[in-house]
Amino acid sequence: MNPYNIKVNAVLVAISVVLSCLIGYLAFSIGEGKENDVLCGVFSTVCFMAATVPMVGLQYGQTRLGVNVRAMSFLFFVLFLVSHFCFAAIGIKMPYYIILNGILLLVYCGVLYKMLQINKI
């Protein structure tokens, strides 16, 4: 039994995962040659995957919940895009990259969790 009444669309989840991998590879290629470019590509992929799967690949039982989750996911997707590509292009030190994007990812996951808990059936 699914207490959140969320349905997974496997095709759209696969598309969002591939899209996240491609954007992560783009971040890697922008930061290529710089220190820790592989870490930048992997962490970018994880962050984009966390934002695109709830935004594209899931269907929500309540329309309001779906709109709120998609809007918040899109907002964080744009924040991740700006953050990752600025860090990849400029080449700021890796601890700042990990800390800032890690905090953004944790805030996103925490808000998403609370949104699902509030609308739990």
Element (H, E) at 15: helix 10-30
Answer yes or no: are the C-beta atoms of 34 and 10 closer than 8 Å: no
Residue 65 belongs to some domain of the structure? yes
Domain that holds residue 46: 6-118
CA 71: distance to chain centroid? 13
Residue 53 belongs to some domain of the structure? yes
Residue 1 belongs to some domain of the structure? no
**CA 56/CA 104 separation, integer angstroms:** 20
Residue 113 belongs to some domain of the structure? yes
Answer yes or no: are the C-beta atoms of 116 and 4 closer than 8 Å: yes
Residue type, 22: L
Tens digits of residue pLDDT in 28-83: 888 777 667 788 888 889 999 999 999 999 998 888 989 999 999 999 999 999 98
Answer yes or no: are the C-beta atoms of 108 and 51 closer than 8 Å: yes
Task: Provide the number of structural domains found in the chain.
Answer: 1
Residue 52 belongs to some domain of the structure? yes
Eight-class DSSP state of 94 = H
Tens digits of residue pLDDT in 81-121: 998 888 777 766 778 888 999 999 999 999 999 998 887 75
Would you call 64 exposed, middle or buried from its count of C-beta atoms within 10 A (0-12, 13-18, 19+)?
exposed
